[in-house]
Structure 1
Amino acid sequence: MGVSVALFTADLRVHDNPVLRAALRDAERVVPLFVVDSGIRRTGFVVPNRAAFLADSLADLDAALRARGGRLVVRAGDVVEETCRVAVETGASVVHIAGGVSRYAARREDRLRAELAQGGRLLRVHDASLTAVPPGTLTPAGKDHFAVFTPYFRRWEGFSVRDVLPAPDAVPVPEVGSAGLPDVKTLLSCPPGPVSPGLPAGGETEGRRRLRSWLAGPLDRYEEQHDDLTADATSRLSPYLHFGCLSPAEALHRVRAHAGPGAHAFVRQLAWRDFHHQVLAARPDAAHHDYRPRHDRWRADAEQIRAWKEGRTGYPVVDAAMRQLRHEGWMPGRARMLAASFLAKTLYVDWRVGARHFLDLLVDGDIANNQLNWQWVAGTGTDTRPNRVLNPLVQARRFDPRGAYAHRWLPELRATDAMHLPDAVRREAGYPSPIVDLAEATARFRRLRG
């Protein structure tokens, strides 16, 4: 049966991994391969937080493979050239890879398929690896993707998701050269910048532990509390889903099997993830261009953008969100919406500025979800109410009514009432006055958006 290659990308796990299982079915020996891809590093997508999480995840994957008699083979360089080189060195006849949805992933697959074919080798792409429902599987009549979430979700709920695959008992690996496991410096194309001090540990082991803990109780409170900024009641599983340390299909099956309340609301969030992947697969330009152009005349106020990034806008709930992002490389969905709405609609700054800043820090920074969520908030994406504006004061009263979230992330305000900050109190605390008047900003947005 020979040798096959399982090329790991965003599926860094041994449980429920269609790529690894198919490679083991195809051959007597398998090369579990990860390439530190110089092409991705040149895009600026690999940043300190994701590099640190990735290094953890690769070390954990290697340990899981070694427990099964194998190991992770690491190469560095152009992913197509290195994968073909490994295939030649080991005599592999087929390479397995998880199907991606970005333009970069599509080009990588096309190049890899063509290069392998020149040597009489095959590329097998597994579309059911990175999402619960493969992109393109569900489409409305006469169209290639769903542009609105609700009808997509109705179809998605009725789809029969594939069964969960067990982790292999053994992974026999042929003799082949490998670089050492990469660290943060190796993964970055430049000297590493600071990693967020509150960054979670990466890897499948930690991801599965967190999933078990989530199912054991907190999930029951999810529907009621997921928008409550004080409660911190979200799963925090997004980094593990982004890197494929957790299988979305397995997560969906396990949540659906949970009898308690909250399951349906969380399933809906998994569906949103799949929804954005199917949009980007059909419209790869949406990563950088308006999905639905509104002919915006974006502003570019450098001082206001800097204040937003630093969490010094004078609106505590927005500033707390931005401080949490810098400290943890993560923030809950409601906080992301508030921060994004403030930049794109209150300050009327191009959503791409905010999306790039999020990608610079988010450990779960994902082209499909980050870019398309930003477009949803900015009103250039799939939101059916593109001109809605989230008022940070109203949102704070609803989702941080006692100011506990603001106090947690804004230490200068801990001795004050974060909901009521007279100028004298702000000056004494060292906290800035609002950088914009909300009523004037909303009026400006509606005038310029037309």
Structure 2
Amino acid sequence: MTASRTLFWHRRDLRLADNTGLHAAAALGPAVTGVYVLDPAIIAPPPELPPMAPARLWFLVESLVELQQRWRDAGSRLLVVAGDPVQRLPQLASLLEAAAVVWSRDVEPYARERDRQVARALQASGRKVLVDWDQLLVAPELLKTGGGDPYRVYGPFLRNWRGQVELSEPGTVEAPTGLIDLDAACLDALQTAAGELGRLCAEGQRDLEQLRSGHGFKGMDLCPCRPGEAAAAGQLAVFADGPLLGYEPDRNFPGTAGTSGLSAALSVGTVSPRQAWCAAQAAKDLARSDEQRQAIAVWEQELCWREFYQQALFHFPELADGPYREQWRRFPWENNEDWFDFWKDGQTGMPIIDAAMRQLNETGWMHNRCRMIVASFLVKDLICDWRWGERAFMELEVDGDLAANNGGWQWSASSGMDPKPLRIFNPATQASKFDADGDYIRRWVPELRHVCTKDLLSGDIGALERRGYPEPLVNHKIQQARFKALYATIKG
């Protein structure tokens, strides 16, 4: 084994193309080996960390299986091991005699502390550690107000972010080829499970296969998010070639295939934000009207929302545990557990709410417009703590991402950085505006297909027409007034 081998640690960048960390590793020399650590704190986390949804586990495992083949095609291999990365990375680096270990940075509090411990252990053994950003178009340290503070409001953040992105003109880098695999002694150890290296890799591969067969997710065929780098590239190409030009207003209608379906891919990194941005710039050449150019700009703004929430969590890690606005720690939540369970199961008696929650339960994914509607309903109609909803989403979502999920729930709950102090969605109004024909509701609440559209959207369905569908848990008008009265107790 030569001292020039480099170990590249995959985390939220499960691809070879446009992987800036891997590009940096390959620049050190062609002898590069990939590694992914099945970290129990992520795969089966303790209560204080975000849960791993079966849908997300399916997406992760299938993406890893494909990534292993891509490494083989590039001339090397991706090793999968299980355990605490603080122990496993130094152990593997020693067994492989790696001179350097490279990875890309993360914004989440657990990941940042873990990475600090891994770096200290590697450096203590004399190994070089290289880390930089890959999952963001602009590093969070570069986005500050005129006073040098992190941004707390999206609008000014967008202007600075867009200016920096357009100035840098981000491009993409090719996937590495011609990598050099391990030497004969290491290959023998891997293939025979002889010694520590072979045992670690055999156990990791076994665990990966067990997760692949036992993740428990049943909605693979229904989920719009497809695992793996190849699928992500295909989805991005299809989206940029057509739906992107109508993204505004199509993105708002849950019954329309108007979004990219790339949320999970961006979360685990089977596609990069630079690839997404470059696809948007290429689509501008196809735009033939101001409306189409505006649609592309709106999708770029959605990419910015993703980065806004990422930088917020980076600068304010306490967001992972509670509200940004201190007064919300005093809010007198009613937290009716039965109501919460009905909400989670799609049995509230409010058709648009139940359609959205059933879509999430069955497919692992929910349209973003519906995420806002159901979040508002849980918090401001059922008066349940927004953190209950935040955790429930992480238990179900294929694209569960701590920064985006937390940011979205705090936006809906009015406990976050959004300057508007109080926002309440009327579910019937939202249904009438964004599912005017009731197609989305009928798709996910089939027992109501016979109900006339007017009653379907309002939820005002007669007893005989319900045919077993539940009565509404609450009256929106009454609960809205109740919520506002409770809010007055903490206001200011």
Classify the TM-score, shorter chain: over 0.9
Pick aligned residue for 2:397 from 359, 362, 367: 362
Residues 253-302 of structure 1 deviation map (CA, whole Å, 9 limit, x = unaligned): 22122122121111110000000000000011101211112331111101
Residues 141-173 of structure 1 deviation map (CA, whole Å, 9 limit, x = unaligned): 234411110110011111125431111122223
For residues 148 and 68 of structure 2, the distance between their equivalents in structure 1, rounded to whole angstroms, comes to 42
Is 2:16 aligned against 1:14?
A: yes
Match of 2:198 in 1: none
| 1:48/1:184 contact within 8 Å kept | no
| 2:280/2:300 contact within 8 Å kept | yes
Is 2:100 aligned against 1:94?
A: yes
SS of equivalent to 2:74: coil
| 1:36/1:187 contact within 8 Å kept | no
Q: CA deviation at 1:418?
A: 4.5
Moved beyond 6 Å, runs of 4+: none
Match of 1:288 in 2: 321
Q: CA deviation at 1:31?
A: 1.4
SS of equivalent to 1:136: helix
Is 2:435 aligned against 1:433?
A: no
SS of equivalent to 1:402: coil
Is 2:68 aligned against 1:69?
A: no
SS of equivalent to 2:81: strand
| 1:406/1:418 contact within 8 Å kept | no
| 1:183–1:91 Cα change, 3 Å | closer
Match of 1:145 in 2: 150
Is 2:299 aligned against 1:266?
A: yes
Match of 1:226 in 2: 251
| 2:237/2:279 contact within 8 Å kept | no
For residues 238 and 386 of structure 2, the distance between their equivalents in structure 1, rounded to whole angstroms, comes to 35
For residues 356 and 325 of structure 1, the distance between their equivalents in structure 2, rounded to whole angstroms, comes to 14
Is 2:360 aligned against 1:343?
A: no
Pick aligned residue for 1:204 from 216, 229, 234: 229
| 1:255/1:263 contact within 8 Å kept | yes
Q: How does 1:26-425 map to 2 (within 5 A)?
A: 26-40=28-42, 41-43=44-46, 45-127=51-133, 129-159=134-164, 160-175=168-183, 176=186, 177=190, 178-179=201-202, 180=205, 182-183=207-208, 185-186=210-211, 192-197=215-220, 198-199=222-223, 200-259=225-284, 260=287, 261=292, 262-293=295-326, 294=328, 295-420=330-455, 422-425=460-463
| 1:344–1:143 Cα change, 3 Å | farther
| 1:46/1:187 contact within 8 Å kept | no
Q: CA deviation at 1:50?
A: 1.1
| 1:288/1:371 contact within 8 Å kept | no
Residues 219-250 of structure 1 deviation map (CA, whole Å, 9 limit, x = unaligned): 11111211012213111110111110001111
The one-letter amino acid paired with 2:181 is: V
| 1:185–1:301 Cα change, 3 Å | farther
| 1:9/1:34 contact within 8 Å kept | yes
Q: CA deviation at 1:120?
A: 0.9
SS of equivalent to 1:82: helix
Q: CA deviation at 1:106?
A: 0.8
| 2:30/2:178 contact within 8 Å kept | no
| 1:91–1:442 Cα change, 3 Å | same
| 1:11/1:243 contact within 8 Å kept | yes
SS of equivalent to 2:349: coil
Match of 2:193 in 1: none
The one-letter amino acid paired with 1:327 is: E
For residues 427 and 356 of structure 1, the distance between their equivalents in structure 2, rounded to whole angstroms, comes to 34
Q: CA deviation at 1:422?
A: 4.7
For residues 400 and 32 of structure 2, the distance between their equivalents in structure 1, rounded to whole angstroms, comes to 30
For residues 36 and 448 of structure 1, the distance between their equivalents in structure 2, rounded to whole angstroms, comes to 44
Identity %: 34
Is 2:465 aligned against 1:442?
A: no
SS of equivalent to 1:419: helix
| 1:347–1:251 Cα change, 3 Å | same
| 2:37/2:80 contact within 8 Å kept | yes
| 1:80–1:373 Cα change, 3 Å | same
TM-score by length of 2: 0.87
Q: CA deviation at 1:365?
A: 0.1
Q: CA deviation at 1:56?
A: 0.8
| 1:31/1:73 contact within 8 Å kept | yes
Q: Which runs of 5+ in 1 are unaligned?
A: none
SS of equivalent to 1:5: strand
The one-letter amino acid paired with 1:206 is: A
TM-score by length of 1: 0.95
Greater radius of gyration (CA): 2
| 2:145/2:151 contact within 8 Å kept | yes
For residues 66 and 233 of structure 2, the distance between their equivalents in structure 1, rounded to whole angstroms, comes to 12
SS of equivalent to 1:164: coil
| 1:185–1:203 Cα change, 3 Å | same
The one-letter amino acid paired with 1:49 is: A
| 1:52/1:195 contact within 8 Å kept | no
| 1:126–1:338 Cα change, 3 Å | same
Match of 1:25 in 2: 27
The one-letter amino acid paired with 2:98 is: A
Q: CA deviation at 1:423?
A: 4.6
| 1:232–1:201 Cα change, 3 Å | closer
Count of residue pairs brought into register by the alignment: 447
Q: Which runs of 5+ in 2 are unaligned?
A: 191-200
